[in-house]
Chains A and B, each alone.
Chain A
C-alpha cells in the first residue's frame, strides 16, 4: 500500500474521530456510533492509496460513515425506534430529540451536517456524492419534515 506523503492518517484520525463519532451517533444512535466510526476509519485506512489529501479524506470518511450507518440500520436492526414523548416531558429540547430521531437517517445526517458541522451545501453534496442543488433541496425538506413531526407531537400532547 503506497501512502501519500502529504497525508498523516494518525493525525487525521485524532482530529476527525470526535466529530465523526457524533455524526454517526446522530444517524445510528450512540450505542453503535463508535462501531460505525471505527469501521469508517478502517475502510479509509485500507483505501489510503486513493486519498490524495485531507479534503479527500473528509469526503471519503463521511460518505463511508453514512453508508456504514445505513447498513447498520438496515441489517442489524439495532437502532431503537424513537419513544413517544412523555406527556410530562414536554420540554422543547426533548420533543426536538424525539422528532429528530423520527426523521429518516438521511435527513438526520443532512441536518447534522448543516446545523452541527456547519457545512456549506457544497460540502454536504460532497459528503453524499451529490450536487449542490440536491443538498439544498434535501436540507429544506428535512427541516419541513422535522417541523411536521413537531406539530404532530404538539397535537398529540394537547389531545
Chain B
C-alpha cells in the first residue's frame, strides 16, 4: 500500500467536490447575513429612536404636568416667623397651633422648598424622630448642628432627642416647617424646648406670646417684633463672643420666665426656650446655648 494509491483514491472520492461552487455559496450566504444584519441594525435603530422619542415625550409631558399642577407660592417680602409656645390663657390651648404634616402638604412643600431629589424622602411616612439628625435627614435639609447644647452647667442634662416635625400655618397657607424637640433639658427648675423653624414665604401672623413677627433685615439679620399683647414681653439683641447676631425674647407667665434665644443661619431659624423662675438664669442659659451653637458652627 503506497501513499500514491491512497492519493489516487482520494482524488476519485473528492473529484466531484467543486471549490468554485463553495466560493459562490459562501459569498451568497455572507451577503444574506449582511443584509439581515443591516435590517436588524435598522430595526434596532428604529426601536431606539422610538424609545428616545417616548422618553422625551414623557419628560415633556411630566414637565407640563408639573408646571400645571404645582402652585408655587409667590415670594414677596419675607416675613419670617418664629414659633413660640402658645399660652393657654391667650389661645385657649396649651398646644402650639401646629398642623401635622400630611403627605399632600409635604408634597406641596417639597415642590416649593426642596428640589425634586428630596421628594422621595419626604414622601416616606413618619413624623416623629429620635434625633435631630434623623429629622434633618428625612426633610433633606442641612441643619446647622444637632442641638446637643454642649457647655451647659453640670446640673443640666439633656433629656433626649425626640423631634416632632410639623407644618405651621395660620391661614391655611404654607408658612414654615418646624422641628420641635419634645424632650426638655432637665435641671433644677429648668426646662428647655428647642425649635428649628424653616421659614417659607408670605406674610405670617404670629399669635405667640413674646414675638409677633420676625423679619430678615437688609443685612440679613433676624429682627423680632415684640408682641404688643403681652405687657411683659421684651426683645433684646446681643452679639456672641464670635461676633454673630442673636436675639432673646423674654416673657413672664405666672411665676415663670420664658426666655427664647433666636439664631438664624442659612435661612433656618434656631430657637431655644428656657423656662425658669429667675429671669437672669433663663436668659444666661439661653445665651450659653446660643454660644454653644455658634461655637460649634465656627469650629
Q: List the interface of chain A (C-beta within 8 A of B).
A: 13-14, 17-26, 29-30, 33-34, 37-38, 41-42, 45-46, 92-93, 96-97, 99-101, 111-112, 115-116, 143, 146-147, 150
How far apart sit A143 and B6, CA to CA, in the bound complex (Å)?
10
With A45-B30, A112-B10, A116-B10 known to touch, is A34 a contact of B5 (CB < 8 Å)? Answer: no
Whether B12 contacts A93 by the Cβ 8 Å rule is yes
Residues in B1-54 with C-beta less than 8 Å from chain A: 1, 3, 5-23, 25-27, 29-30, 33
Whether B10 contacts A42 by the Cβ 8 Å rule is no
With A96-B5, A96-B6, A100-B6 known to touch, is A30 a contact of B13 (CB < 8 Å)? Answer: yes
Whether A93 contacts B14 by the Cβ 8 Å rule is no
Q: Which residues of A contact B11 (CB under 8 A)?
A: 116
Whether B5 contacts A17 by the Cβ 8 Å rule is no
Which of B5, B14, B18, B21 has a CB less than 8 Å from the CB of A26? B14
How far, in Å, is A154 (CB) from chain B's closest CB? 11
With A38-B29, A42-B30 known to touch, is A97 a contact of B13 (CB < 8 Å)? Answer: yes
A146: nearest residue on chain B (CB-CB)? B1
How far, in Å, is B111 (CB) from chain A's closest CB? 50
Whether B5 contacts A42 by the Cβ 8 Å rule is no
Q: Which residues of B contact A97 (CB under 8 A)?
A: 9, 12-13
How far apart sit A30 and B19, CA to CA, in the bound complex (Å)?
11
How far, in Å, is A63 (CB) from chain B's closest CB? 17
How far apart sit A99 and B25, CA to CA, in the bound complex (Å)?
31
Q: Which residues of A contact B19 (CB under 8 A)?
A: 17-22, 37
Secondary structure type dominating chain B contacts: helix
Whether B22 contacts A37 by the Cβ 8 Å rule is yes
Number of interface residues of B (CB under 8 A): 27
7 smallest beta-carbon distances between A and B, as pairs? A18-B19, A25-B17, A96-B9, A30-B16, A22-B14, A25-B14, A17-B19
Q: Which residues of B contact A116 (CB under 8 A)?
A: 7, 10-11
How far apart sit A100 and B3, CA to CA, in the bound complex (Å)?
12
Whether A13 contacts B1 by the Cβ 8 Å rule is no
How far apart sit A147 and B6, CA to CA, in the bound complex (Å)?
11
Whether B13 contacts A42 by the Cβ 8 Å rule is no
Whether A34 contacts B13 by the Cβ 8 Å rule is no
With A30-B17, A34-B17 known to touch, is A21 a contact of B22 (CB < 8 Å)? Answer: yes
With A25-B16, A45-B30 known to touch, is A34 a contact of B10 (CB < 8 Å)? Answer: no
How far apart sit A111 and B19, CA to CA, in the bound complex (Å)?
20
Q: Which residues of A contact B26 (CB under 8 A)?
A: 13, 17, 37-38, 41-42, 45
Q: Which residues of A contact B14 (CB under 8 A)?
A: 21-23, 25-26, 30, 33
Q: Which residues of A contact B33 (CB under 8 A)?
A: 42, 45-46
Residue with the greatest number of chain A CB neighbours at <10 A, chosen from B9, B21, B29 = B9
How far apart sit A14 and B30, CA to CA, in the bound complex (Å)?
14
Whether B25 contacts A92 by the Cβ 8 Å rule is no
Residue with the greatest number of chain A CB neighbours at <10 A, chosen from B12, B16, B29 = B16
A147: nearest residue on chain B (CB-CB)? B1
Whether A21 contacts B7 by the Cβ 8 Å rule is no
Whether A93 contacts B9 by the Cβ 8 Å rule is yes
Residue with the greatest number of chain A CB neighbours at <10 A, chosen from B1, B22, B23 = B22
How far apart sit A101 and B27, CA to CA, in the bound complex (Å)?
30
Q: Which residues of A contact B10 (CB under 8 A)?
A: 22, 26, 100, 111-112, 115-116
